Amino acid sequence: MLDATVAALARLRAQDASRLGQGLSPENAQACLHQAIRPLNRESLVAACAAAEPVPQSVAIVVPYGVFTTPIEWTAIALASGSSVHLKAPSRDPSFVRCMAEIFADEGFDITWSTDRDMPSVDAVLAFGDDASVAAIRGQNPNATVVGYGHKFSVAFVTGDPKLAAGPLTIDLVRYDGRGCMAPVAIFCSSDCSELGSALADALRGAERRWPRGSVDPSMGPEWRRRMGLARIVGEAWGGSSWAVTVTPATHFRPMAMPRMAAIHPVADRDELATQLAEWTPWLSTMGTDAELVELPGIHRVCRLGWMQAPIIPRCHDGRSMLGGLHSTDGEDTCE
């Protein structure tokens, strides 16, 4: 199964992602596809399968719209472990799920897909989406173990040289145009915020030429203008036609990412950052930082800047091991 999994992943990585990226630019979609598949190889799959044991005979994965590569790692590990997989694709754009399912099926795997809400009977369900969607999926599948990944968000924390931080941080901001739980919704900065803002403005300007921003929902326009106007009054702002950087007091923090907008907030140190994030603890996911990789309340994963949207395999995801909980009666499995 490992050889077939690796072969399928190689074929998937060679696909033209321009038609699969759910509104991302072709350049960014291709970079995201390569980034998602890069850590999946024979060695990492062996380790991930061992950590996930025992995997149920049949698994359904509810795939969200936005981060089109979401199902790759979960599907690959489940199939390599010998499970059959059904993918519930996002009805808004199922093209990537269709492509991936066809490639794995061609390699001999038992995999199906559809956009139907009514899924086939399976032993376990991996559900991604907002909290309400995950709750609904639990109710619709009373006879299956359901592991849900609801709403989460991530932040960055810059403590050192802003110019050195800007390059890696730009990768975290650009990938998927700020979509998904691992994208930094804000950057907390204990160094020179003005210098970081200027450096990020230069970096985002360059990134726009290399990985242009994709389509953006017009409904985001008012919030974009509000943030820029606020920053010009109470802080600083830099902006182009498809990117922006703002510096505002941490009291203006909002846990919502805007596509290609870097929202910087000054904090004195890690303790003040913990205080600012305290009310959001249940929804925290990843922190990218140039500081020592130490724990912060609520943060499940701490990594270097530039790696927020490129997690290693195997790993924990929001406090659970990969596919963790699928074999238990209550769906609970936590990483030590």
pLDDT tens track for 210-246: 999 999 999 999 999 999 999 999 999 999 999 999 9
316: part of which helix (H) or strand (E)?
strand 316-317
- The verdict on 140 and 209 lying in the same domain is no
The full DSSP string for 23-70 is T--HHHHHHHHHHHHTT-SHHHHHHHHHHHPSPPSEEEEEPPSS-TTT
Residue 129: give its domain's CATH number. 3.40.605.10
- The verdict on 53 and 175 lying in the same domain is no
- Residue 134: which domain range? 2-151
- The verdict on 122 and 235 lying in the same domain is no
- The verdict on 104 and 163 lying in the same domain is no
**Is the model's pTM score more than 0.75?**
yes
Q: What integer pLDDT is reported at residue 72 of this predicted model? A: 98
- The verdict on 177 and 117 lying in the same domain is no
- The verdict on 17 and 145 lying in the same domain is yes
CB 163, CB 182: distance < 8 Å: no
- Single out the residue in 110, 125, 151 at which a domain terminates: 151
Q: What integer pLDDT is reported at residue 260 of this predicted model? A: 96
Residue 277: give its domain's CATH number. 3.40.309.10
Q: What integer pLDDT is reported at residue 178 of this predicted model? A: 95
Q: Is 328 within a domain?
A: no
Q: Is 288 within a domain?
A: yes
Q: What integer pLDDT is reported at residue 133 of this predicted model? A: 86
Q: What integer pLDDT is reported at residue 336 of this predicted model? A: 56
- The verdict on 146 and 157 lying in the same domain is no
Q: Please state, as a whole number, how many other Cβ atoms lie within 10 Å of the Cβ of residue 328.
A: 12
- The verdict on 82 and 219 lying in the same domain is no
- The verdict on 176 and 242 lying in the same domain is yes
Q: Is 235 within a domain?
A: yes
- The verdict on 222 and 112 lying in the same domain is no
- The verdict on 158 and 147 lying in the same domain is no
Report how far apart the first and last C-alpha atoms of the chain are (Å, whole number). Answer: 28
Q: What integer pLDDT is reported at residue 1 of this predicted model? A: 86
Residues of the chain with pLDDT under 70: 325, 327-336
CB 104, CB 11: distance < 8 Å: no
